[in-house]
């Protein structure tokens, strides 16, 4: 029987971090802190021989209000162990040397991020570079003797003098530093620069000798009028393919092209140059062709339409299209001797596929577990390692052969939630107002009783090309597990525009943003009502980013919810358009600027119907959000106040579009817990520090 938490006890239990058990046998409700403290793995890197797997693990550091990432290693069938320990920061981006004898990674050394190496058998890691700037990323050469590295151009003397004389200011879309390409030798046996003193001149007591020096970093491509956004060595090590665009500004990706660098001569030749975005994916194993994605000449709808996959000879020639009949976006292309591997969403599944480079045909290798994320493969393509998540399991690291796809987990992060009350997930579907089929994830309490009617919380994902899927711990800033335990249902709709349902579905909210999205949410509510599951007098809705926009649209266009939370949401498309850092997004989805079609901006803006608003609304926003500038939050807040609707704005200081630190994420979770408990359950919940007063 469900345990009732009475208001007088609620505060005490929450102050004790909600870490209670109803009996010795029953699972417990985790605290907000415990959810935010879950250890999570990153993309695994499989060794060249396929035997060993390196991967990162990220942990929460509450004392520093941040996160620490370290590298772990699984050797053969042995239990994985932590390989690195970085007291002053994190270790990231592990890469095996081609001979499998070293693991290189990035870690702060002095003031900047540098390449470090460590033996797989353990021991102390040591720095291999001493660059005067952060190394953004790197890649081993195929012979293991060098690293290609990418760094930003140094701050110019003029910029330094300007700051000294005039202080800090910025000219919009004109202040940036490009990233260029460099090379440095790998010298694992070099002496430490502290092994011997160095003297400038010979004296009576000492012989002069040269000071020990770090390996010299040589420029491959710098002082050019473009920025490099990605690169990869050819299998033979004589060439590097790279993406480049005029500058690193976010909207310049439309002008991304692909070129080839001859490493010996440093000569650059253009390979792919279409009117819209081109991005290389990988080399063919023989080094004779390059795989790439392109929007071709599409600069007006590539935010929501599928990209096009091609292969092209390195010397140039006619591109050959691959996977032309596949109706979704691939991710993580890896061209192996047995074919091209990639993942793609298929509704709430994310299988791994093999693309035949000769015929372009696509074959699914497997979709167990339900979602397969980052992966790496051996050159032959016979062994892969990946991270994946199942309905009732956290993200784990798996390994499998590709001929017989039988993934085996090598980690056990799910043990962290072994005694938790986790979300019970069910994928449901319904028809929207215009007949479109919409899917969503419905979470039910563990003691669900089909004869009862439950309060409903609707949690809406961002994007719009995001996707919700079954998960045991669905969110950190929306306390879903706690609402389930409190006796509510939680619906997470994959509204029109979501990934995984094909290009036509992603296009359904073009010139229909907000309007069609609201159809999908409200028809999902009606579906549950028609099944007799919902107490319609106690319903709430919330979301972040695009989910926040849809929540704001619901605030001003329906009276069905008792409370709504708008996280980093758009309130007025015109305000958004002139303030955001991605103007093309709005032009593509609304197919016009505000000056060309004011009516479509009004139709899709929550503020248009502000006079109809009646729903108490919590607004959460980052202080320095450039994606959805905070002007949207203040506009919605003032509009709601002007029409007499209770509204509250919480600004998370120092943050942009997302809340990236654990303490502020904890605050956001509490704020949502307070807001919805007040309006759906009639409870006045105080923060723990307020309870002590």
Ordered structural domains, the chain, with CATH: 7-30+421-685 (3.40.50.1820)
| pLDDT band for position 202 (cuts 50, 70, 90) | low
At a CB cut-off of 8 Å and minimum separation 6, what does 396 contact? 41, 369, 387, 388, 389, 409, 410, 411, 412, 413, 414
**pLDDT in the model for residue 230:** 97
- 436/443 Cα distance (integer angstroms): 22
**pLDDT in the model for residue 14:** 36
pLDDT > 80? residue 31: yes
Question: 140 has which bridge partners?
Answer: 147
pLDDT (mean) for 116-130: 92
Q: Are 574 and 603 in contact (CB under 8 A)?
A: no
pLDDT > 80? residue 184: yes
pLDDT > 90? residue 267: yes
pLDDT > 90? residue 19: no
Q: What is the pLDDT of residues 445-480, one digit of tens each?
A: 989 999 999 999 999 999 999 999 999 999 889 999
Cα torsion at 636, 637, 642, 644 (round to 10°)?
110
pLDDT (mean) for 381-407: 95
- 141/261 Cα distance (integer angstroms): 14
Q: What is the pLDDT of residues 566-613, one digit of tens each?
A: 999 999 999 999 999 999 999 999 999 999 999 999 999 999 999 999
Q: What is the pLDDT of residues 44-70, one digit of tens each?
A: 999 999 999 999 999 999 999 999 999
At a CB cut-off of 8 Å and minimum separation 6, what does 377 contact? 46, 334, 336, 341, 383, 384, 385, 402
Cα-to-chain-centroid distance, residue 31 = 24
pLDDT (mean) for 355-370: 94
At a CB cut-off of 8 Å and minimum separation 6, what does 481 contact? 29, 30, 35, 420, 421, 422, 423, 473, 474
| pLDDT band for position 693 (cuts 50, 70, 90) | low
**pLDDT in the model for residue 669:** 97
- 100/106 Cα distance (integer angstroms): 18
- Let me know if 328 is exposed, middle or buried by CB neighbors in 10 A (0-12, 13-18, 19+): buried
pLDDT (mean) for 661-668: 97
**pLDDT in the model for residue 689:** 84
How does the average pLDDT of the chain come out, rounded?
Answer: 92
Indicate the range of 197-211, 538-552, 571-585 predicted with least confidence.
197-211
- 680/223 Cα distance (integer angstroms): 60
Indicate the range of 217-231, 363-377, 601-615 predicted with least confidence.
363-377
Classify the phi-psi angles of 50: left when phi > 0, otherwise alpha if psi is within -120 to 50, otherwise beta: left
Pairing of the two strands 112-118 and 647-652: unpaired
| pLDDT band for position 3 (cuts 50, 70, 90) | very low
Share of the chain above pLDDT 90, in %: 85
| pLDDT band for position 201 (cuts 50, 70, 90) | low
pLDDT > 70? residue 209: no
HSE (side-chain half, CA atoms, 13 Å) at 574: 13
Share of the chain above pLDDT 70, in %: 93
- 656/617 Cα distance (integer angstroms): 21
pLDDT (mean) for 679-692: 87
pLDDT > 50? residue 233: yes
**pLDDT in the model for residue 27:** 87
Task: Provide the 8-state DSSP code for 602.
Answer: H
């Amino acid at each position: 029987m469900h345990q009732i938490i009475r208001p007088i006890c609620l505060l005490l239990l929450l102050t004790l971090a909600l870490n209670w058990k109803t009996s010795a046998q029953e699972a417990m409700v985790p605290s907000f802190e415990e959810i935010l403290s879950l250890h999570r793995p990153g993309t695994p890197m499989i060794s060249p021989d396929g035997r060993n797997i390196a991967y990162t693990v990220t942990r929460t550091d509450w004392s520093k209000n941040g996160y620490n990432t370290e590298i772990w290693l699984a050797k053969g069938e042995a239990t994985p162990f932590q390989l690195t320990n970085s007291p002053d920061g994190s270790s990231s981006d592990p890469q095996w040397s081609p001979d499998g004898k070293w693991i290189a990674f990035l870690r702060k050394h002095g003031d900047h991020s540098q390449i470090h190496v460590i033996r797989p058998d353990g021991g102390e890691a040591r720095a291999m570079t001493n660059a005067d700037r952060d190394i953004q990323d790197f890649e081993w050469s195929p012979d293991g003797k060098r690293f290609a590295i990418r760094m930003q151009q140094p701050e110019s003397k003029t910029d330094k003098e300007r700051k000294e004389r005039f202080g800090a200011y910025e000219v919009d879309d004109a202040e940036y530093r490009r990233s260029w390409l460099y090379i440095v030798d790998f010298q694992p046996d070099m002496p430490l620069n502290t092994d011997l003193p160095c003297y400038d001149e010979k004296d009576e007591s000492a012989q002069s000798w040269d000071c020990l020096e770090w390996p010299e970093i040589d420029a491959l491509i710098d002082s050019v009028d473009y920025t490099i956004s990605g690169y990869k060595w050819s299998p033979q090590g004589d060439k590097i393919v790279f993406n480049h665009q005029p500058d690193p500004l976010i909207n310049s990706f439309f002008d991304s092209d692909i070129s080839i660098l001859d490493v010996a001569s440093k000569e650059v030749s253009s390979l792919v140059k279409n009117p819209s975005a081109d991005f290389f994916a990988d080399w063919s194993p023989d080094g004779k062709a390059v795989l790439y994605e392109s929007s071709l000449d599409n600069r007006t709808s590539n935010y929501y339409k599928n990209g096009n996959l091609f292969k092209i000879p390195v010397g140039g020639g006619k591109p050959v299209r691959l996977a032309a009949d596949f109706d979704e976006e691939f991710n993580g292309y890896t061209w192996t001797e047995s074919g091209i591997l990639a993942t793609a969403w298929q509704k709430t599944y994310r299988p791994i596929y093999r693309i035949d480079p000769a015929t372009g045909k696509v074959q699914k290798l497997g979709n167990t577990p339900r979602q397969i994320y980052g992966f790496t493969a051996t050159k032959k393509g016979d062994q892969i390692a990946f991270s994946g998540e199942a309905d009732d399991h956290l993200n784990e690291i798996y390994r499998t052969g590709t001929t017989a796809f039988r993934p085996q987990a090598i980690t056990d992060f799910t043990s962290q939630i072994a005694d938790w009350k986790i979300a019970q997930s069910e994928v449901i579907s319904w028809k929207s107002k215009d007949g479109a089929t919409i899917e969503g994830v419905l979470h039910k309490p563990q003691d669900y009783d089909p004869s009862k009617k439950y309060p409903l919380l609707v949690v809406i994902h961002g994007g719009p090309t995001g996707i919700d899927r079954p998960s045991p711990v669905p969110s950190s800033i929306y306390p879903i597990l706690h609402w389930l335990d409190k006796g509510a249902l939680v619906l997470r709709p994959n509204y029109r525009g979501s990934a995984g349902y094909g290009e036509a579905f992603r296009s359904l909210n073009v010139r229909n943003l907000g309007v069609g999205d609201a159809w999908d949410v409200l028809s999902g509510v009606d579906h549950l009502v028609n099944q007799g599951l919902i107490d319609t007098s106690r319903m709430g809705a919330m979301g972040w980013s695009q989910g926040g926009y849809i929540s704001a649209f619901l605030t001003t266009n329906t009276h069905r919810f008792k409370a709504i939370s708008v996280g980093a949401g758009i309130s007025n498309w015109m305000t958004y358009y002139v303030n955001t850092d991605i103007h093309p997004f709005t032009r593509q989805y609304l197919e016009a600027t505000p000056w060309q079609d004011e009516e479509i901006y009004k139709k899709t803006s929550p503020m248009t119907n502000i006079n109809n608003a009646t729903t108490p609304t919590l607004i959460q926003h980052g202080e320095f959000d450039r994606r959805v500038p905070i002007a949207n939050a203040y506009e919605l807040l003032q509009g709601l106040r002007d029409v007499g609707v209770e509204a509250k704005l919480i600004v998370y200081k120092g943050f942009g579009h997302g809340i990236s630190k654990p303490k502020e994420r904890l605050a956001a979770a509490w704020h949502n817990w307070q807001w919805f408990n007040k309006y759906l359950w009639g409870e006045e919940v105080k923060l723990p520090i307020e309870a002590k007063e």
